[in-house]
Amino acid sequence: MKTLKKTWPFHVMLLPAMIFLIIFSYIPMGGIVMAFQDYKPWLGISGSEWVGLDNFRYLFEREDSVQVIWNTLFIAVLKLVFNLIVPFVFAILLNEIRKTALQRGIQTLVYLPHFLSWVILGGILIDLLATGGLVNRVLGVFGLGPYFFLGDNDWFRFTVIVSDIWKEFGYSTIIFLAALAGIDPSQYEAAEIDGATRLKQTLHITVPSLIPILMVVGTLALGNVLNAGFDQIFNLYNPLVYEKGDIIDTFVYRTAILNGEMGFGTAIGLFKSVISMVLILISYRLAYKWAGYRIF
């Protein structure tokens, strides 16, 4: 009772969020049971047949299951890592530019591709990366290529990952820029007096100050470890690269979404959620154990 007296403002502050979460998140979560059903819309959740783990079995028993899951992991993990590192480094480099106008200008321009959907970008990429396209012509000047970026199993994943970074890094940089704004300038002043070079200042002040937010963003990104980016892959993949490019989401789209197999779709969603949850838990624990930092 005594603690409640002290903490009641916190509970009140959390109340609105809790109400929204219960209504729009926890109540619908009941639908997870569909993962264990052969769900038929006209029978509803209460009337559909229970099939145990059949829906999950289908994901693992396909001839190409291993391939599809591996592709997903491979693409998603590399995207996750580079979509942390690139914005992180970019933010630090951008921070070095002293002319405010130039700095803001660059910042705004790199943020643009985020706003174009993959339908549009996909069309543009198919032209840019064609064997006779701009990129190959530029590479040709250096005696390289031509490369069949989108139609070659050796290149496809690389192309997908790089183009995703190209689209998103400017947008992801914002978080780090906001964190940079929070660094106490007196730290740099002190280092300056000690005669530290800029590189040393960066390594000893800037980077450590950004580490917590990097851990936070990284941990939360683990929630996407089985999302390799449906929109992008769907717009770029083609029969030549199924071997390296087909991911869980495209396969679910073809089998479950197009055919209205909602039980199977839910099962895949649940599978992805469980994996994400486990990874987030681990990473939360590790961050607490090693860095003494509670991510949330």
Looking only at residues 69 through 88 of this chain, which bind another protein when binding is defined by CB under 8 A? none
Tokens of 290: 């090693």
Q: How many residues does the chain have?
A: 296
Residues of span 245-264 touching another protein by CB under 8 A: 246, 251, 254-255, 257-262
From the list 23-31, 75-83, 137-145, 226-234, the region that binds another protein by CB under 8 A is: 23-31
Tokens of 252: 């679910």
> Within 10 A of 50 (CB to CB), how many other CB atoms are there?
10
Among 51, 73, 77, 106, the residue binding another protein under the rule CB under 8 A is 106
Residues of span 139-168 touching another protein by CB under 8 A: 150-151, 166
- Closest residue by Cα to residue 82 from 167, 148, 154, 149: 167
Cβ distance to another protein smaller for residue 75 or 156 = 156
Q: Is 25 in the site for another protein (CB under 8 A)?
A: yes
From the list 31-39, 73-81, 137-145, 226-234, the region that binds another protein by CB under 8 A is: 31-39
CA distance 244 to 52: 31
From the list 43-51, 72-80, 137-145, 226-234, the region that binds another protein by CB under 8 A is: 43-51
Tell me the three state secondary structure of residue 158. helix
CB within 8 Å of 171: residues ≥ 6 apart: 111, 114
Q: Is 49 in the site for another protein (CB under 8 A)?
A: no
Among 53, 66, 112, 190, the residue binding another protein under the rule CB under 8 A is 112
Among 73, 82, 85, 201, the residue binding another protein under the rule CB under 8 A is 201
CB of 142 to another protein, least distance (A): 16
- Judge contact between 94 and 103, C-beta under 8 A: yes
Residues of span 202-221 touching another protein by CB under 8 A: 212-213, 216-217, 220
Q: Phi and psi (nearest 5°) for 18?
A: -65, -40
Cβ distance to another protein smaller for residue 77 or 220 = 220
Q: Is 33 in the site for another protein (CB under 8 A)?
A: yes
Alpha carbon 138 to chain centroid distance?
Answer: 30
Q: Is 269 in the site for another protein (CB under 8 A)?
A: yes
- Judge contact between 208 and 265, C-beta under 8 A: no
Residue with tokens 């502050």: 13
Tokens of 110: 């790199």
CB of 90 to another protein, least distance (A): 8
CA distance 5 to 2: 5
Count of residues of this chain found to bind another protein when the rule CB under 8 A is applied: 124
